[in-house]
Chain A
Amino acid sequence: MQPAVEFRAVEKHFGPVRAVDGIDLSLAPGQVVAILGPNGAGKSTSISLMLGLRPPTAGEVRILGGSPRAAATAGRVGAMLQAGGLPPGATVREIVGFTRSLYPQPMPLAEALEAAGCSAFQSRRVELLSGGEQQRVRFARAIVGRPELLFLDEPTVGLDVETRRRFWVSLRAAADGRRTVVFCTHYLDEADSEADRIVVVQHGRVLADGSGAEIKAAVAGHTVRLTCPRDAAEAVASLPGVRTAEWTGDRVALRTADADATVRALAASNVQWRDLEVGGTDLEEAFLTLTGSGDGGQDA
C-alpha cells in the first residue's frame, strides 16, 4: 500500500540552521501519527514540507504517492496550521462554506459545522469569536473537504483541558479510522493517548519512532534509585544501560535503558550502595531522556 507520507533523506535549511536534518519517514494510510518534540525541533517545518508550503533543501517528500502540491491542489489534504488567521468580516458559515466549495467531494456543510462543534455560532462573524471557537472553525475548515490526509499543527495549543478533550473526540469521529492524521504536539499525554504512532523529533532528526508503549519500553525504560557516597558518581554513571544520573544529596536516580544489566553490574561492583529501588518510567521521563540525550551527544 502506498504510504500517505514519505520522507526520503529530507533536509531543510534556513541559512545556517538545519530545521530538518535528515529525516526518513514513511506513514501508512489510516494511522494517527503524532510528531512530538520541544519547540524548535523541526515539527512545524516538517508539516510545511508535507503540505508543499516549502520545498526541501535536500531529499524527497511524497504525499499520497505524488508531490505535496499535487495532493493539495487535488483536494486530498486538509490542514489546520498554527496561528491560522480567519479573515474578519466573514461569518463562520461563509468561511467554512467557501472552503467546502473548493473540494471535489466535501461533506455537507451542516455536518462539518456539527462535527467541529460550530453549529451554535455559525452565523457569527469570526472576529467576534473566542480563541477556542476560532480553533473549532479552523478545524471545520480542515475537515469539510473530506481529505484523505489531515495535518494539524499543535491543534490544541492554548485550549483549556475541557476544550482539548472535546477536540480529540471530534477529531476521532472525523478521522473515522480511515483518514490519515498527522499532528504536532509538545503535549506528551496527548501524543500518548491520541496517536497510534509517535515520532519524536529533536534538532531536526528523528530520535524515536513507535507506539507510545514502544517508546516507553525502548528508551530509558526504568529508573534505578540508590543511596551511595558521592565519590562513586563516576562508577554508577558508567554502569551498563545508564543514560543519565541525577543526584539529590547522596541519593541518585539513574535513568537506564536496561535495569537488569544496571543492577547486576551494580551488585558486582564495589560501590557501597543501599536502599535500592527500581521503577518504571512514564512517557514524560522517556521524552526528557530522549531530548536530553540529543543535546548530550549520546546515541539516539
Chain B
Amino acid sequence: MKGFGAYLLLEMRRTVRSVQFLVFAIGFPLVFYLLFSAMFGAQTLGTVSANVYLMVSMGAYGAMGAAINANSARLAAERTTGWSRDLRVTPLGIGAYTAVKTVLAFVLALPGFAVVAGAAVLVHHVGLAAATWLDLFALMWLGSLPFAVLGVLLGYVFNAESAQAGSMIVYLGLALLGAMWIPIRVMPSTLAHVALWLPSYRYADLGWRVVAGQPASGADVAILAAYALGMAVLAGQLYRRDEARNYA
C-alpha cells in the first residue's frame, strides 16, 4: 500500500492540531489527574498510593480519549465531505483509509497515557521500578487497541451530524461506568457489575494490577480482546453497508 506512511503522517499532524482532540485526549485527563490527586493523593488504595492509582485511572482515561477522538466524529465527517471518496481515486486505494485511521488512533493513545504519567512523576514524584514502568506502558498501549477500533466503529455508526454528541456520550459513559473516575469498590453494586463487563474498566485494570504488583488478569485480556474483535467485525459490516450505499 503505497502512501500508507505519508497518509499516517498527514493524519497525525491534523489530529494533534485539533483543539477538540487536545482537550479530550490531553487536557481533561491532565486537569482531572491534578485535581483528584490534590484531593485524594494522601490516601492509599490497598498498598497503592492514590497518586499512583489515579495516574493509571486518568492515564487510561486519556489514552482511551485519544484513541476514540482521533477518529469517530472526524471519520464520520470525512465520509460526508467527500475526502475519503477523493482518496479512493488516488493510488492510495480503498483499504488504506480505515487501516491508517486505526493505526493513527493506536499511535496517539500512547501520548494520551504518557502525559498523565509525566505529570505524576513531575508533580507527585511518583517513582516505579524501571521494569514496572515498562510493563505499565506496554500494557496501557496495547490495551488501547479496542478503543482505536471503537473510534473507527463510531465513525461508521454515526453520521456527520450525530457523531460529535454520540461519540462523546459513548466515551464519557465508558469512563464513568468503567470506574475510571470513581474506584469500583465505592460504586453501587449494580454499576460495579456493569463495570466488570466494560472494556474501559478492564483496560484500566490492566494498569492498576501492574502498579499493585499483581499478576495480569486473564479476564482483563480476554474481555478486551473480545471487544476488539467484536467491534472490528461490526465496523466491517458498517463499512460494507457504507460501500453498498455510496460505492455500488
Report the minimal beta-carbon distance from B159 to chain A, rounded to whole angstroms.
14
Q: Tell whether A145 pairs with B82 under 8 Å between CB atoms, given A87-B14, A90-B13, A102-B6.
A: no
Is the pair A85, B248 in contact by a Cβ cutoff of 8 Å? no
Is the pair A72, B247 in contact by a Cβ cutoff of 8 Å? no
CB proximity to A under 8 Å, residues B34-88:
77-78, 80-83, 85-86, 88
Is the pair A102, B82 in contact by a Cβ cutoff of 8 Å? no
Binds A, one of B25-33, B89-97, B137-145, B204-212: B89-97
Is the pair B78, A102 in contact by a Cβ cutoff of 8 Å? no
Interface status of B185 (Cβ within 8 A of chain A): no
Interface status of A74 (Cβ within 8 A of chain B): yes
Interface status of B214 (Cβ within 8 A of chain A): no
By a CB distance below 8 angstroms, the chain B residues around A74 are 91
Q: How many of chain B's residues have a CB under 8 angstroms from any CB in A?
A: 27
Is the pair B3, A101 in contact by a Cβ cutoff of 8 Å? yes
Report the minimal beta-carbon distance from A237 to chain B, rounded to whole angstroms.
45
By a CB distance below 8 angstroms, the chain A residues around B17 are 89, 125
Report the minimal beta-carbon distance from A183 to chain B, rounded to whole angstroms.
15
Q: Tell whether A87 pairs with B89 under 8 Å between CB atoms, given A53-B247, A101-B3.
A: no
By a CB distance below 8 angstroms, the chain B residues around A52 are 89
Is the pair A90, B10 in contact by a Cβ cutoff of 8 Å? yes
Q: Mark A81-92, 1 if CB is under 8 A from B, else 0.
A: 111111111100
Q: Which residue of A lies closest to B77 (CB)?
A: A85
Interface status of A141 (Cβ within 8 A of chain B): yes
Q: How many Å lie between the Cα of A87 and that of B74 in the bound state?
A: 9
Is the pair A87, B83 in contact by a Cβ cutoff of 8 Å? yes
By a CB distance below 8 angstroms, the chain B residues around A75 are 90-91
Is the pair B83, A85 in contact by a Cβ cutoff of 8 Å? yes
Task: Pick the residue among A53, A90, A125, A145 that contacts B88 (CB under 8 A).
Answer: A53
By a CB distance below 8 angstroms, the chain B residues around A61 are none
Q: Mark B7-33, 1 if CB is under 8 A from A, else 0.
A: 101100111011000000000000000
Report the minimal beta-carbon distance from B41 to chain A, rounded to whole angstroms.
36
Q: Give 12 new A-B contacts, CB below 8 A, not counting A53-B88, A84-B81.
A: A72-B89, A72-B91, A77-B89, A79-B86, A81-B86, A85-B81, A87-B78, A88-B14, A90-B10, A98-B7, A99-B90, A102-B90
A residues in contact (CB < 8 Å) with B = 51-55, 72-75, 77, 79, 81-90, 94-95, 98-99, 101-104, 125, 138, 141, 145
**Could you jot down 9 A-B contacts, CB within 8 Å?**
A52-B89, A53-B247, A83-B81, A83-B82, A87-B83, A98-B3, A102-B92, A125-B17, A138-B86
